Amino acid sequence: MRTEIRFAGSGGQGLITAGVILAEAVGLHDGKYVVQTQSYGPEARGGASKAEVVIDDRPIRYPKAQRLDVLLAMTQEGCDRYYHDLKPEGVLILDADLVPTAPTSAALAVPITRMVREALGRELFANIAALGVLAGATGIVGMEALTAAVLARVPKGTEQKNRDALNLGFEAGRSAAASPADEPEHDEV
């Protein structure tokens, strides 16, 4: 079954890296077909960026995401720009502090960046925590596969902090999915 995921935010948040890690976790460790694409503005930091991951049990014929199963938005602009691509039954995951205006009450709002800053002392690991939130909320990728992919990608000496961020995000994602909004709706933006 084809699954389309988009990470949306701004340059410097590590969302391209998060997309690459997710693709590696699914492709190398879970054994599924996967394609990862990305786009970003000319600015090194602060410009809009997005990463897409398409997962399937069969070979992928078209690599771009069109009707999203999951949108993980780390900025208000990213949420506003891409929310309309989310399927009505799709999962919207937001950084609650960076996306203060959710387009639907069914969004899973998790204060990802703040949570990481408070627990680990730096926002640097927010992209890894976001991967954990996605895994915990959706079950799209197993934690064993995701952990292996994270540890293979992160700089030496940061493995434990990244593992902590991933686990922190995973638990937050599971909690957010377990207590969804009362009446899911898919409002127009």
**179: which residues sit within 8 A by CB, 6+ positions away?**
none
- Does residue 184 form part of some domain? no
Does pLDDT of 183 surpass 60? no
End-to-end CA distance of the chain: 28
Mean pLDDT for the stretch of residues 88-107: 95
Mean pLDDT for the stretch of residues 108-117: 97
Q: What CATH number corresponds to the domain at position 148?
A: 3.40.920.10
Q: What is the pLDDT of residue 128?
A: 98
In this structure, how many other beta carbons lie within 10 angstroms of the beta carbon of residue 53?
29
What is the span of the domain harbouring residue 160? 3-178
Band (pLDDT 50/70/90 cuts) for residue 46 is low
- Does residue 142 form part of some domain? yes
- Does residue 187 form part of some domain? no
Does pLDDT of 143 surpass 50? yes
State residue 34 phi and psi, 5-degree precision: -155, 145
Q: What is the pLDDT of residue 49?
A: 87
- Does residue 123 form part of some domain? yes
- Does residue 80 form part of some domain? yes
Report which of 176, 165, 162 is spatially closest to residue 119, judged by C-alpha positions: 165
- Does residue 183 form part of some domain? no
Number of structural domains in the chain: 1
Band (pLDDT 50/70/90 cuts) for residue 188 is very low
- Does residue 140 form part of some domain? yes
Q: What is the pLDDT of residue 45?
A: 59
Mean pLDDT for the stretch of residues 47-53: 88
**Joined tokens for residue 55:** 């997962």
Inter-residue contact 11 to 46 (CB < 8 Å): yes
Lowest mean pLDDT of 38-42, 122-126, 180-184, name the range.
Answer: 180-184
Report which of 69, 73, 124 is spatially closest to residue 95, judged by C-alpha positions: 73
- Does residue 13 form part of some domain? yes
